[in-house]
Structure 1
């Protein structure tokens, strides 16, 4: 039991620090919250969290080992993930400035699209595989029971949902959305440029290591 508690106390702060650091997931979620409202942002948050769950289960069964053994697969994932972020960035850059009354109506994004975007943005990030793979390799030993491992995965999953729901709720509030409406064109271009730059960096890392 002590091993399980020590494991959680070691991993939870690390995971929280990594989760709250800015990245493609947070940029995508904040843009969705500002432009499409709370409901769609919640769906994007759930997609991101489900992606986290998939990566954790994958790390548990050795996806990171597979990627290390098959460099071509890791290379392809980086290129695909980078391309997807570039695609999202270009779409944001080209998006029309929102008109009064447009907020909360989805801004052209269906409910399924918002969930799918969050999920794909997370699943196409090989850094997630490296992160969870390294965490599991560093902390998990034969002494850790399966029950403790299962509890840890679900706690990290719930933590991911909680954090991204907080972001979705906060940035869909009128205090944030009203200024966004006035400057939506500029903000979309900045967010689009950030996503595209992250995509270029990710795709380039496939070639330069």
Structure 2
């Protein structure tokens, strides 16, 4: 892989990760609830989901999933349902896992990992990115495995850094001495944003 191609890939990947979406919202909310150290396990779940998509893209499985409307719809609607569930939890429950305020209630590491994994893996836009965009950066004349390894490690590092920034931002917002109504507004906004993301996700199709 040429340096220029790698830099373009890195920039594209950074923009995709940094764009406010379901994963960023969930990470920021968890960071606000229990801090960065706890949120790391959630981020690991997202990184594992991304790694799986990298492997699927390299082996052509992602393209097969896109070709199978049934499998694609299952992945999509699992994601839609879960995002709406998380959004409603944030909107209706003061003690919900997405409350943008320190609650003192810490979820288990396994629970956080699974939540991060499901949010990332069930997002059809992530699947579309790895199936339709990622292969364009590969040099088919060179060995594929080293290129995928480099790109995968780069993507994982970017996820960790960018999502850590979101988690730290959420934590600072929740612990910055804000008035209760402001914290509540942020919490409600996060919930509404997740529901909106779920609704938008429902309109995603497998067409490239």
With the length of structure 2 as denominator, give the TM-score of the two structures. 0.85
Distance in 1 (alpha carbons) for counterparts of 2:103 and 2:188: 20
Alignment of 1:33-182 (within 5 A): 33-96=31-94, 103=102, 105-106=104-105, 109-145=107-143, 146-173=145-172, 176-179=174-177, 182=180
Residue aligning to 2:11: 13
- CA RMSD of the aligned region, Å? 2.6
Hey, what does 1:27 align to over in structure 2?
25
How far off its partner does 1:97 sit?
A: 6.5
TM-score in terms of structure 1 length: 0.85
Deviations 1:38-75 (CA, angstroms, capped at 9, x unpaired): 22222222222222222212211123211222111111
* CA pair 32-187 structure 1, distance change in 2 beyond 3 A: same
Whole-angstrom distance in 2 between the partners of 1:143 and 1:206: 31
- Consecutive aligned runs of 4 or more in structure 1 exceeding 4 Å deviation: none
Deviations 1:4-47 (A, max 9, x none): 42331221111111111110011111111112222222222222
Conservation of the 8 A alpha-carbon contact between 1:85 and 1:196? yes
Contact 2:6 2:137 in 1 (8 A): no
Match of 1:178, SS?
Answer: coil
Equivalent-residue separation in structure 2 for 1:78 and 1:154 (angstroms): 26
Following superposition, the deviation at residue 111 of structure 1 comes to 2.7
**8 Å CA contact retained: 1:38, 1:169:** yes
The aligned length equals 202
Contact 2:91 2:187 in 1 (8 A): yes
Gaps of 5+ in 2: none
